[in-house]
Structure 1
């Protein structure tokens, strides 16, 4: 059953000028694409941005009420749900998973996923890359207990990878493109055929219970998914803006843009089933201590507006 209780999105007791929407973001994320698409120019609410290195710390902040809403990949909400975080997925998108990669150095002797047995893999704990590692290993008949996972955020993982301190690195774009172009990384495996490619906008329960913030969250979600559409049809323009915002080389940004193109999708039974299967895989791997009921961490109140 979908979680739909709470204040109606249309209720607004607080004037827009007094509402401050606190948004969690990641490198080259929502702020960059909304700015490039020109969709922040007349945004009727004040936004306070906070940048996070990956999804898990962003959701910790959302659960604590430090931010109201933010974007993450397919795995962070599962780990947050396992910790009974006070969050709910309120919007979803789906994209290509070619950039969700397990990378090795160009000269690495590792040729197949089976070769990872007994090796060290750098990955951000609870990130979408963590999910991809789990599924990739499982397909090869391995578990996460057959490797050593070095839980590192992307910047630290990049250093460890380039210095040869780990055997492989599981990550997403733009880090995948950056490692390929600047460190000559080789792709050992991608998420194709394994990862569901979902990404989520997730809100804190405190924000969802705030009548004044609900219209701001709704407006933000509508504009964010419009910006995704813009980016998909203005790829070179988006890559230039992304490069300028993040300091990434234009070639890195363009490579990442050309193999992504996330688009809004409905939060429906099919999506929930896919996320539940991923959650169950983590439980079976004993990475999570118990069963997660993903449907309890979904709120569909904005779906009609996002359609």
Structure 2
């Protein structure tokens, strides 16, 4: 079996390859907030993924009456987004539970400032229609696609461990979602470890879940900021407002799943049915939570796992990359995800 390890300093895709597109601005309708002594309006640079927080905030009416300007940049996944945070090209952005660990191991300048807890049902290892694979143990010797350093990467490692396998027992192909989907559809790989909405999209084609992250991974997602942005009083104030808007928008999604699915489908090009599946399975289950001790302990387990496998260099102390100033009165990170019922 082939051993596949991560290059120590190549865990994050270079910034030049990360920016897949740049969106427009969400400008203030009233009021201004300037950087210290400049009198100029603050611009908050936010990293996003297609159909992500920009679309969500717009749909929920939370991009109105800003007293700062937002500059959006779109990324294919969490790792390249955090490379941009490290390079100060982005002030803050949302990622899954694993990218901050890889960024911390690469000694990136990042700070985790907010969290959500959602269902892990959308974190899954998928197999194509007609596959003979029936359990995680059947993956021995098989080719599996996954985005390097993504939340799905840890889900894959944890699923293999649960099945009594090691990463060396399989061939891991590190592919970004678009390439992984092509490989999955062509039969170049036997399975694909991925997240929603890709999970919901592929399941609609007749593929099925071999294993999911439910009860296996922590279901956390994070907003990660550049330390320099947090040190800027005006930007820190804007970040605080942005996080509160995100919290309200997440509440709106849970109350309006069909409406959000329509917007999400239009933004991403997904069929409405796929978007609604993903909203109910994953996207709409998220609860804003505190970045508390329990979250740190859970993330430390992820870091220690990758260190033991020699997939990241050295020891990562996750709490050193956390800032709790924005926790406010948020519930603990162990708060149960929202649920649309067993049939969702």
Establish whether TM, by shorter chain, passes 0.5. Answer: yes
Contact kept? 2:34, 2:42, Cα under 8 Å: no
Q: Which residue of structure 2 lines up, in the alignment, with residue 218 of structure 1?
A: 240
Q: Which residue of structure 2 lines up, in the alignment, with residue 4 of structure 1?
A: none
Alignment of 1:275 with 2:299, yes or no, is yes
Deviation at 1:212, TM superposition (A): 2.1
1:249 to 271, 290, 311: 271
More relative contact order in 1 or in 2 (CA 8 Å, sep 6+)?
1
Cα distance in 1, alignment partners of residues 310 and 167 from structure 2: 9
Deviation at 1:245, TM superposition (A): 1.3
Cα distance in 2, alignment partners of residues 236 and 175 from structure 1: 18
2:328 to 300, 304, 307: 304
Unaligned runs of 5+ residues in structure 1 are 1-9
Alignment of 1:177 with 2:200, yes or no, is yes
Contact kept? 1:104, 1:168, Cα under 8 Å: yes
Partner SS state of residue 303, structure 1: coil
Cα distance in 1, alignment partners of residues 39 and 192 from structure 2: 44
Alignment of 1:228 with 2:250, yes or no, is yes
1:96 to 119, 123, 132: 119
Alignment of 1:57-76 (within 5 A): 57-76=80-99
Contact kept? 1:143, 1:285, Cα under 8 Å: no
Deviation at 1:13, TM superposition (A): 2.9
Deviation at 1:16, TM superposition (A): 8.1
Q: How many residues align?
A: 297
Partner SS state of residue 125, structure 2: strand
TM-score (norm 1): 0.93
Partner SS state of residue 298, structure 2: helix
Alignment of 1:85-234 (within 5 A): 85-181=108-204, 183-234=205-256
Contact kept? 1:11, 1:211, Cα under 8 Å: no
Deviation at 1:226, TM superposition (A): 1.0
Structure 1 residues 254 and 15: CA distance shift in structure 2, 3 A = farther
Structure 1 residues 192 and 108: CA distance shift in structure 2, 3 A = same
Structure 1 residues 24 and 295: CA distance shift in structure 2, 3 A = same
Q: Which residue of structure 2 lines up, in the alignment, with residue 5 of structure 1?
A: none
Alignment of 1:293 with 2:308, yes or no, is no
Unaligned runs of 5+ residues in structure 2 are 1-32, 332-344
Per-residue CA deviations over 1:247-267 (Å, capped at 9, x if unaligned) read: 111000000001122111111
Partner SS state of residue 212, structure 1: helix
Partner SS state of residue 304, structure 1: coil
Cα distance in 1, alignment partners of residues 280 and 228 from structure 2: 37
Alignment of 1:80 with 2:103, yes or no, is yes
Contact kept? 2:143, 2:190, Cα under 8 Å: yes
TM-score (norm 2): 0.83
Deviation at 1:284, TM superposition (A): 1.6
Cα distance in 2, alignment partners of residues 121 and 131 from structure 1: 13
Deviation at 1:304, TM superposition (A): 2.2
Which structure carries more helix by proportion?
Answer: 1
Runs of 4+ in structure 1 deviating by more than 6 angstroms, as ranges, are none
Alignment of 1:37 with 2:60, yes or no, is yes
1:238 to 243, 249, 260: 260
Structure 1 residues 244 and 20: CA distance shift in structure 2, 3 A = same
